């Protein structure tokens, strides 16, 4: 469970890292989600399996 603001920080940190992750699903809450902010996340092949 993440707020979009907190997930944005994860996106930034993950862009700077070459390590893979095991994140399978994210549930957003607490504030409005602008889905455009997810584009950098899904642009990386390592993140393609995250729902």
Q: pLDDT, tens digit, for every residue of 3-50?
A: 999 999 999 998 888 788 888 999 999 999 999 999 999 998 888 888
> What does the domain layout of the chain look like in residue ranges?
4-47
Q: Looking at residue 33, what is its pLDDT?
A: 96
- Cβ atoms within 10 Å of 45's Cβ, excluding its own: 7
Q: Looking at residue 15, what is its pLDDT?
A: 84
Q: In a 3-state reduction of DSSP, which class is residue 31? A: coil
């Amino acid at each position: 469970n993440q707020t979009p603001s907190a997930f944005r920080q994860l996106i930034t940190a993950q862009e700077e890292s070459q390590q893979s992750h095991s994140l399978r699903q994210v549930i957003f809450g607490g504030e409005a989600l602008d889905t455009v902010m997810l584009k950098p996340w899904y642009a990386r092949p390592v993140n393609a399996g995250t729902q």
